[in-house]
Amino acid sequence: MKVILSRKGFDSESGRYPSPILPDGRMYSFPIPSSDDKIRYDRLSIEPNLTYDWLMKELIGKGCESKTCHLDPDIYKHIYPRKVGWKGAFGQIGTAQRHLENQGVGIGDLFLFFGTFRRTMKNGAYRYTAELDKHVIFGYLQVGEIVHDESGFPWLAEHPHVLDKDRVNDATNAIYIARNKLSWCDKPGFGAFRFNDSLVLTKPDQQNHKKSRWQLPHEFRNLNISYHTTNSWKEDYFQSVGRGQEFVIQEDRALTKWVQKLFRNSELMA
One-letter amino acid for residue 252 of the chain: D
Give the largest Cα separation in the chain, rounded.
52
Any domain includes 212: no
Residue 255 lies in a domain: no
Question: What pLDDT does residue 206 have?
Answer: 61
Q: Is residue 22 domain-resident?
A: yes
pLDDT digits (tens, 9 = 90+) for 109-154: 999 999 999 999 998 899 999 999 999 999 999 999 999 988 889 9
Task: Write the CA distances from 162 to 15, 24, 79, 166, integer angstroms.
Answer: 23, 34, 19, 9
Q: By residue range, what is the domain housing residue 133?
A: 3-194
Is position 209 within any domain? no
* Domain membership flag for residue 251: no
Is residue 37 within 8 Å of 70, Cβ to Cβ?
Answer: yes
* pLDDT score, position 207: 55
265 in any annotated domain? no
In a domain, 242, yes or no: no
pLDDT in tens, 191-213: 999 999 999 999 987 656 789 99
Q: What pLDDT score was predicted for residue 215?
A: 95
pTM assigned to the model: 0.96
pLDDT at 106: 98
Residue 229 maps to a domain = no
All residues at 6 or more sequence positions from 239 whose CB lies less than 8 Å from its CB, including other chains = 212, 213, 214, 232, 233
* Per-10-residue mean pLDDT, the chain, length 270: 95 80 98 91 93 93 82 96 96 96 98 97 94 95 94 91 86 96 97 97 78 92 95 94 91 96 95
- How many structural domains comprise the chain? 1
